[in-house]
Amino acid sequence: MTTSTCGHEYTISLLELKEERALYQQFCDILQSLLPEQPLSFFIRPSLSNKEALKLIYQQHVSEPLALHEMLEKAQLCMSKPVLISKSYTCMPLRLDDQVIGLLWIYAVLTPANCNLTAHLMNVFFHQLHTLALARIDPLSQLLNRQTFDEKVLEIASGQGFLQPRDEPDPRRWYLALFDIDHFKRVNDSFGHVIGDEVILLTAQHLKENFRAEDYVFRYGGEEFAILFQAHNDSEAQSLLDRVRGVIRSVTFPQVGQVTLSVGFTDVTDVMQVSELVNQADMALYHAKQHGRDRVVFYGTLEGVSLQVTTSDIELF
């Protein structure tokens, strides 16, 4: 962070950033230099999804922080105000569609000048975050798009989680699953592309709802979805994917009725190339398609079998 104290320079420094992690870091650096003596906590929902809980991003000089639910309750007090100032604290909530998607809580009363500048910079930060988030979204399904996929896989394979890992004694590992809607061409041919698009959208929503907020759900291609998710082991991953497959199988899609999915998955190791990882999940998906569809296949169970699949048979992405 520069030593500048100029609001304009702070604004420019936020708008220049094209990567979310750097944007968070910059905003936290700004808070540190703008409010060096103030105890504060800064929370945000990193994906801007209202399903996700607020995460603590930054804290300084805080000895006894308020519980998050207390903060949220207090934030509700300023529904129509951009900033809430009491005798002992200043609260700046960020809102999107009536949801609090971020919260800066300062355990002190700011001067009006500092308060205005901080509120302004918080809005600049949020709008830049929102712009970056929109560039990562597929417009039809509202899932993360293909362009974001490689970036996230590399991030995960190199051991950098964007979010803090859950505090569990038995850590979970990352897996990649490829979901493909079965006989989707028939849906388009029988009902038209508009209904086909609706099936893609509804499937995307069900997938998103059935994975955790910290997992990543992508629209990978036309009727294909890629999921980066966590499980303790291979059998837990298999059960989770089978459950999701079952959920979608039980949905009655308007006009179309039942839709099934084939799924191939593999575990993510830190030495993998993205292409190798996708190739493994794709081989498992291919196997699921070849063995009746509407099933989940783990790449790790394909030893020997995968060798029978010739490269020309595999639809690489």
Ligand X SMILES: Nc1nc2c(ncn2[C@@H]2O[C@H](COP(=O)(O)OP(=O)(O)OP(=O)(O)O)[C@@H](O)[C@H]2O)c(=O)[nH]1
Q: Which residues are catalytic?
A: 223
CA distance 220 to 141: 11
- The single residue among 29, 52, 155, 182 that binds ligand X, judged by CB under 6 A, is 182
Residue 269, exposed/middle/buried by CB under 10 A (0-12, 13-18, 19+)?
exposed
We find the least distance from the C-beta atom of residue 75 to ligand X, in angstroms, to be 39
Q: Count of residues binding ligand X (CB under 6 A)?
A: 15
- Cβ-based nearer residue to ligand X, 21 or 183: 183
| Binding status of residue 223 toward ligand X by CB under 6 A | yes
Binding residue for ligand X, selected from 18, 21, 166, 193, defined by CB under 6 A:
193
Q: Which residue is nearest to ligand X (CB)?
A: 222
Instruction: Tell me which amino acid residue 190 is.
Output: S
Smallest gap, in angstroms, from Cβ of residue 205 to ligand X?
15
Contact 277, 268 (CB under 8 A): yes
Minimum CB distance to ligand X smaller for 180 or for 215? 180
Q: Within 141-180, which residues bind ligand X (CB under 6 A)? A: 180
Structure tokens of 175? Answer: 């897996």
CB nearer to ligand X: pick between 173 and 289:
289
Cβ atoms 309, 283 nearer than 8 A: yes
For residue 23, the Cα-to-chain-centroid distance in whole angstroms is: 16
CB of 141 to ligand X, least distance (A): 9
Task: Report angle CA 153, 185, 266 to the nearest 5 degrees.
Answer: 25
Give least dist CB 198 to ligand X, A: 8
Q: What are phi and psi of 144, to 5 degrees?
A: -60, 145
Q: Please select the residue that binds ligand X; options are 46, 102, 196, 264, rule is CB under 6 A.
A: 196
Using the minimum distance from each CB to ligand X, give the nearer residue, 193 or 243. 193
| Other Cβ atoms closer than 10 A to 230 | 21
| Residue 194 Cβ vs ligand X, minimum distance, rounded to whole Å | 8
* Closest to ligand X by CB, 199 or 227: 199
Strand 40-44 vs strand 99-106: parallel, antiparallel, or unpaired? antiparallel
The mark string for 91-110 relative to ligand X (x by CB under 6 A, - otherwise) is --------------------
Q: Which one-letter amino acid corresponds to residue 158?
A: S
> Distance between CA 24 and CA 37 in Å, rounded?
20
Identify which range of 108-116, 161-169, 190-198, 295-303 contacts ligand X by CB under 6 A.
190-198
Determine the 3-state secondary structure of 86 from DSSP: coil
By CB under 6 A, tell whether 249 contacts ligand X: no
Calpha distance 173→203 (Å, rounded): 25
Site residues for ligand X, 278-317, by CB under 6 A, read 289, 293
214 binds ligand X (CB under 6 A): no
| Torsion from C-alpha of 252, 48, 81, 69, nearest 10 degrees | 90
25 binds ligand X (CB under 6 A): no
Phi, psi (degrees; rounded to nearest 5) at 247: -60, -50
**List of residues contacting ligand X (CB under 6 A):** 180-185, 188, 193, 196-197, 200, 222-223, 289, 293
